């Protein structure tokens, strides 16, 4: 076990490469369906995906616009000129024997991302982002002496985003990965479904004694597809490397994998250098030339980015943790847009704030636990407004408002008369003075001692009496009104 003072002598340095699958209808170089989810193996493929002799790739124009958008999201310089190259390696799921990628002239150049971490902002430089094709998938059936190859994913457009080694803790690595996810989600360039591998992180970790000018040898942990695993893998690597160095051993530059069940990284292979890939320019594709006007046109149509959403949410008076939770819930389910609804409500600050709190306390948790049933914005909007109106009209107390929302969210269809529904469920607050007066009189008769205490100036007892009124009215009485009527009847 490493002691904390030993760990503190080292500075970890982390850089992250992230492969983002772009949300196009068709693949990067062929007009075949780009959606492989749930499809039989090798059914969304063209001769290009199989790289049969004589086929020629044609660039999907939609990919260029998505790459420009991503470039803006990364605060990066979009290149006026970029080109494709061949990267050679031999693997069954890459039938050409090379991957078409971008080597020395990527479509996106230097940029910078602001990452919230523990209430502060850290800045992570972007080295570059380049376009490339995804490979197929190999599976190795247990006990079989063969492997299976599925090329449905071969040719899916990827944007590989490379960060500067600006990250210095496992927690910061996770925060950066999560921020990239928001950036790609809100720039609308990817479905960002981590479970389906829409974003895959390669985490490069090295450690060096603090104050030393050189970085240590690094290990690259490949193909991580959750934020938690990014953090855990970085944490594991930092410890592993410090332990080796403390024993006087060397860190081998290598590629490692993350074993989620064992929560450790495992050596896979020695790390290749660029020359091992024998890169050369792709002769079958022309370069991508983009004018400044085209770049600016995309910029002027950019949707709100996560930091802009944070500003909007701050403006209605929400705290940072609530804001981060709204973003997380919003990004989690492709079918709902809590922020889209927020945008409609934000001019009414009080309503917008209440709504955001309901997202965090009711909609989000229900979505996570049960799979939210309301999946269209119009219905969320209608539900929220109806309930809010009832609250403002003093017909619902806040406990019952939450209860009502929970029930409405789980219904297949919204009731046309929300107030009628709420009153049927006994949630509508009684603000009818006559009715409450009767209950108060009853409660005062049954609780003479507490009533006398209040009369004698012991105001603590009034809470008990209000509680009794609430109980007798089955939670429906307006508690403020109950309190006033108790005082009135007791003459205090």
Count of chain residues binding Mn ion (CB under 5 A):
1
Cβ proximity to Mn ion, 98 vs 309, nearer residue: 98
Using the rule CB under 5 A, give the single segment among 79-87, 152-160, 181-189, 300-308 that binds Mn ion. Answer: 152-160
Residue 253: C-alpha distances to residues 72, 155, 183, 245 (Å): 33, 30, 31, 14
Place of tokens 């002239």: 105
What is the spatial distance between Cα 421 and Cα 206, in angstroms, rounded to a whole number?
Answer: 60
Q: Between residues 19 and 395, which has the closer beta carbon with respect to Mn ion?
A: 19
CB of 161 to Mn ion, least distance (A): 10
Residue with Cβ nearer Mn ion (131 or 401): 131
For residues 160 and 282, which CB has a smaller minimum distance to Mn ion in the complex?
Answer: 160
- Can you point out the beta strands (E) in 271-344? 280-281, 288-289
In angstroms, the CA 401 to CA 396 distance is 6
**Across the strands, what pairs with 101?**
85
Given the complex with Mn ion, which of 59 and 433 has the nearer CB atom? 59
Report residue 76 as tokens. 């990066």
Which CB sits closer to Mn ion, 160 or 220?
A: 160
CB of 156 to Mn ion, least distance (A): 12
Residue 99 Cβ vs Mn ion, minimum distance, rounded to whole Å: 7
Residue 264 CA from chain centroid, whole number:
24
Q: Which stretch binds Mn ion (CB under 5 A): 108-116, 156-164, 204-212, 227-235?
A: 156-164
Contact 133, 7 (CB under 8 A): no
| β-strands 148-150, 264-270 pairing | unpaired
Nearest C-alpha neighbor of 84 from the set 132, 141, 47, 135: 132
Residue showing the smallest CB distance to Mn ion in the complex: 160
Interaction of residue 202 with Mn ion, rule CB under 5 A? no
Minimum Å gap between C-beta 19 and Mn ion is: 6
Complex with Mn ion: residue 160 or 419, whichever CB lies closer: 160
Give the position of tokens 């990239």: 180
Angle at alpha carbon of residue 16, lines to 98 and 152, rounded to 5°: 40
Torsion of the alpha carbons at 361, 362, 367 and 372, rounded to the nearest 10:
-170
Integer Cα distance of 149 and 292 in angstroms: 42
Which of residues 220 and 231 has its CB atom nearest to Mn ion in the complex? 220
CA R_g for the chain: 30
Whether residue 339 contacts residue 326, with contact meaning beta carbons closer than 8 Å, is answered with yes
Q: Which stretch binds Mn ion (CB under 5 A): 157-165, 230-238, 384-392, 461-469?
A: 157-165
* Partners of residue 82 on adjacent β-strands: 288
Residue 458 contacts residue 491 (beta carbons within 8 Å):
no
Binding flags for Mn ion, 275-304, as an x/- string (CB under 5 A): ------------------------------
Supply the minimum distance, in Å, between the C-beta of residue 45 and Mn ion.
Answer: 21
Output the smallest distance, CB 37 to Mn ion, in A. 21
- CB 132 → Mn ion: shortest distance, Å? 5
Distance CA 185, CA 302 (A): 12
Q: Which is nearer to Mn ion, 81 or 89 (CB)?
A: 89
SS3 203: strand
Binding mask 160-199 for Mn ion (x = CB under 5 A): x---------------------------------------
Region for residue 363 given its phi and psi (left: phi exceeds 0; alpha: psi -120 to 50; beta: otherwise):
alpha
Query: Which among 36-44, 72-80, 153-161, 358-366 is the span making contact with Mn ion, rule CB under 5 A?
Result: 153-161
> Taking the complex as a whole, how short is the minimal distance between the CB of residue 160 and Mn ion, in angstroms?
4
Cβ nearer to Mn ion, comparing 28 with 345:
28
Shortest distance (Å) from residue 134 CB to Mn ion: 9
Q: How far is the CB of 220 from Mn ion (least distance, A)?
A: 12
| Residues making contact with Mn ion (CB under 5 A) | 160
């Amino acid at each position: 076990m490493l002691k904390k003072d030993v760990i503190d002598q080292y500075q970890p340095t982390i850089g992250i490469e992230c492969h983002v699958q772009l949300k196009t209808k068709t693949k990067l170089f062929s007009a075949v369906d780009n959606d492989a989810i749930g499809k039989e193996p090798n059914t969304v493929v063209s001769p290009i995906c199989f790289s049969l002799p004589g086929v020629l790739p044609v660039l999907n124009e939609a990919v260029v616009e998505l790459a420009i958008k991503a470039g803006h999201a990364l605060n990066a310089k979009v290149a006026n000129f970029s080109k494709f190259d061949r990267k050679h390696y031999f693997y069954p799921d890459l039938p050409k024997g090379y991957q078409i990628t971008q080597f020395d002239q990527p479509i996106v150049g230097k940029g910078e991302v602001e990452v919230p971490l523990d209430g502060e902002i850290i800045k992570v430089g972007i080295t570059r982002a380049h376009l490339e094709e995804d490979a197929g998938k190999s599976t190795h059936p247990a006990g079989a002496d063969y492997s299976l190859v599925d090329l449905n994913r071969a040719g899916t457009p990827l944007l590989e985003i490379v960060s500067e080694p600006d990250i210095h803790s496992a927690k910061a690595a996770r925060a950066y990965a999560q921020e990239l996810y928001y950036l790609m989600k809100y720039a609308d360039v990817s479905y960002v479904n981590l479970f389906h591998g829409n974003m895959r992180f390669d985490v490069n970790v090295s450690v060096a004694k603090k104050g030393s000018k050189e970085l240590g040898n690094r290990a690259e942990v490949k193909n991580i597809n959750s934020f938690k695993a990014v953090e855990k893998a970085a944490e594991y690597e930092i410890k592993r490397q410090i332990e080796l160095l403390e024993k006087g051993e060397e860190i081998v530059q290598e590629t490692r994998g993350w074993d989620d069940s064992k929560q450790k990284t495992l050596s896979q292979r020695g790390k290749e250098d660029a020359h091992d890939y024998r890169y050369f320019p792709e002769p079958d594709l022309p370069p991508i030339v983009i004018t400044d006007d085209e770049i600016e046109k995309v910029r002027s149509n950019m949707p709100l980015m996560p930091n802009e959403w944070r500003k909007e949410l701050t403006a209605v008076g929400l705290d940072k943790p609530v804001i981060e939770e709204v973003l997380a819930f919003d990004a989690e389910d492709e079918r709902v847009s809590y922020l889209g609804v927020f945008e409609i409500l934000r001019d009414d600050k009080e309503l917008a704030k209440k709504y955001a709190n309901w997202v965090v306390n009711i909609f989000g948790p229900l979505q996570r636990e049960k799979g939210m049933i309301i999946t269209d914005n119009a219905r969320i909007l209608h539900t929220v407004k109806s309930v809010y109106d009832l609250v403002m009209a003093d017909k619902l107390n806040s406990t019952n408002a939450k209860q009502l929302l929970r029930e409405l969210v789980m219904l297949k269809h919204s009731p046309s008369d929300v107030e009628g529904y709420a009153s049927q469920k006994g949630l509508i607050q009684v603000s009818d003075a006559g009715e409450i007066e009767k209950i108060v009189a009853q409660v005062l008769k049954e609780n003479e001692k507490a009533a006398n205490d209040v009369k004698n100036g012991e105001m603590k007892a009034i809470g008990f009496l209000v509680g009794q009124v609430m109980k007798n009215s089955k939670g429906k009485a307006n508690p403020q009104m109950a309190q006033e009527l108790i005082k009135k009847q007791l003459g205090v």
